[in-house]
Amino acid sequence: MSKINKVVLAYSGGLDTSVILKWLQDVYQCEVVTFTADLGQGEEVEPARAKAQAMGIKEIYIDDLREEFARDFVFPMFRANTIYEGEYLLGTSIARPLIAKRLIEIANETGAGAISHGATGKGNDQVRFELGAYALRPDIHVIAPWREWDLTSRETLMAYAEKHGIPVEMKKGKSSPYSMDANLLHISYEGRVLEDPWAEPEEDMWRWTVSPEAAPDKATYLELTYSQGDIVAIDDKAHSPAEVIEKLNKVAGSNGIGRLDIVENRYVGMKSRGCYETPAGTVMMKAHRAIESLTLDREVAHLKDELMPRYASLIYNGYWWSPERLMLQTMIDASQANVNGKVRVKLYKGNVIVVGRSSATDSLFDASIATFEDDGGAYNQKDAEGFIKLNALRMRIAAAKRSKTVK
């Protein structure tokens, strides 16, 4: 392998990536370009610039990717009603292909032959970052420090940081911060007490949501306007994709909505316990299914539901840039042409309750046929008899054959 002269590092300014920055300088003796993304994590990203500069970095990228993230990654995913293993809304997974894309773009701009990330050798993120990077630039060299160095715990990372004068932000005076990831869609927590699947998370761990018990006693109502499967307005006020998520995070979080505590199956083979806050996503999932229930053909809706687990696994496992995901996305997006209208939801103590849905242009609901009152001849109930007998025919034949055999 030829000598690496320059590497682009996905840099947050936190413990892991600050240690990695110093480690890359020491071990690879190469120039490091830092890339810090504002994905709506709710924290200032500019301090990362000062930290990088203090460590001698000359090429520093700090990009506001909130709108691109919401528009080109989160919204397309929610058009499919995507959920992994029945519960997880893929808040971490969906951010990784965008980071991989930007790492490769910066490598191309700066002439770097390598990229580096802070994902561990035990996790999914290493797979997601690297599959995306290779899909976008086959000749890129990837440096994954967690697969190379001997810093095997958060304690050893902190000792390394102290030795090299790297500042570490402690969480409320405890011995080790949670392993956290945040973006516009969610925040995740791993480590510490969460490594015991039986232990209840500490209440002060949660950052975006109040507990359902502490949520207001009065419900909050919202009207969400959809255009081709995407929310474009809240209470008749137009919002960009990122603004939609920001608004829903605030309102839903204040009503105790969006907490999740799961043990999930990682792609690398192990089970992992994690906690997540996804307030906006929890509302978006429920509301999107509601508008689809009114506007989608039954078989189109059912086909989407059948394909969704495969689509979710592709995203979870890091195959966003794969041809099969792109193929599924084309179908999913085509299904949303008539998903237009409004959904009214009630938010109350951790619950998202759909209380209304309407579409002036694309509703397939026909009250004159569905009514329990006199329909004026719109539907001939006798038609159901032939439908039932035809669908029962195979079972009637089998039952008759069995009956003869018994006799």
Q: Would you please indicate which residues are annotated as catalytic (active-site) residues?
A: 16, 96, 125, 179
What is the rounded (10 degree) CA torsion for 14, 18, 21, 22?
180
Separation of alpha carbons 389 and 38, rounded Å: 60
Alpha helix stretches (DSSP H) within 187-297: 241-254, 279-295
262 three-state secondary structure: strand
On the CB side of 128, CA atoms within 13 Å amount to 26
Distances 154 to 24, 55, 101, 270, 296 between C-alpha atoms, Å: 18, 21, 28, 20, 49
What is the rounded (10 degree) CA torsion for 398, 400, 406, 407?
-160
The DSSP secondary-structure symbol of 185 reads S
Separation of alpha carbons 81 and 191, rounded Å: 29
Q: Yes or no: say if 210 and 253 are a contact pair by the CB < 8 Å rule.
A: yes
Strand order in the sheet with 341-348: 237-238, 230-234, 220-227, 341-348, 351-358
Q: Yes or no: say if 48 and 62 are a contact pair by the CB < 8 Å rule.
A: yes
- 133, containing H or E segment: helix 125-136
The residues, any chain, with a CB within 8 Å of residue 331's CB and separated by 6 or more, are 307
